[in-house]
Amino acid sequence: MAIFMRLWKQVSKMDFGFILLLSVIIILLGTFGIYFLEPEGFPSLFDGFWWTMTTLTTVGYGDYYPVTVGGRLLGIFLFIFGIGIIGVLISKTVDAITTFQKYKREGKLEYTMNDHFIYINWSKKTERAIQEVLAHTPEAEIVLIDTLGESPVDHAQIHYIQGDPSDEDILLRANILDSKRVAIFSDSRIEDPSLIDGKTS
């Protein structure tokens, strides 16, 4: 049991690409293996693939099952190794999606599309301006730049970039060179009009 625990820890530390490759190899091994070992019970490769996937995902419908010693040994191999590898793959996929969503919410991802609208500094005026754009151009893609810790708005077409908008790297992360329009709004946290103008310019 301790050997399996150590093996599991080593597998879980492996690179996502390697785990994906290993999963594909195991699926192909199960599909082709059962097809050649039991051609009567598994008349097509798709039947072999179906059985392999229901085995690896522990669904086990029971519509296909091995009856020979070789087929059952292959099934045991899939039980012991395949289910674990697929489990790690699913876990890493979920982690990757969660990390992506976290980075997107915190404004740490680059925007790579073009013909988008860039709005700098978040305020009620910015919010109204964005709503107007989306009302007139529903397919518009918008990039918001601000220093807030997380995006102040949750919308599929609004992409947040966190950082100082006077920093060239931040503007390049928002892909300002390929944007359609850039609008700069005054910082609502500054009350002195002269300081607002100074920061906006």
What confidence tens digit (pLDDT) does each residue in 143-196 have?
Answer: 999 999 999 999 999 999 999 998 999 999 999 999 999 999 976 555 545 444
What is the Cα–Cα distance from 121 to 147, expressed in whole angstroms?
A: 8
Q: Does residue 6 sit in helix, strand or coil?
A: helix
Compute CA distances 106 → 99, 119, 120, whole Å.
10, 16, 16
Q: How many structural domains is the chain composed of?
A: 2
Regarding pTM above 0.85, the answer is no
- Tell whether 132 and 160 lie within a shared domain: yes
- In this prediction, residue 186 carries a pLDDT of 75
- Tell whether 163 and 92 lie within a shared domain: no
Two structure tokens written together for 15? 């690179």
How is the beta sheet containing 158-162 ordered, strand by strand? 158-162, 142-146, 117-120, 181-184
Q: At which residue do the structure tokens 């490759």 appear?
A: 21
The domain of 169 spans 117-200
190 Ramachandran zone, left/alpha/beta (phi>0; psi -120 to 50): beta
Which of 29-43, 54-68, 185-199 is most confident?
Answer: 29-43
Q: Which of 40, 70, 104 is the last residue of a domain?
A: 104
Q: At which residue do the structure tokens 């301790």 appear?
A: 2
pLDDT level of residue 11 (50, 70, 90 thresholds): low
Please compute, for residue 145, the number of CA atoms within 13 A of its CA located in the half-sphere on the CB side. 27
- Tell whether 21 and 88 lie within a shared domain: yes
Compute CA distances 2 → 9, 81, 82, whole Å.
11, 15, 19
- CA 170, distance to chain mean position in Å, is 22
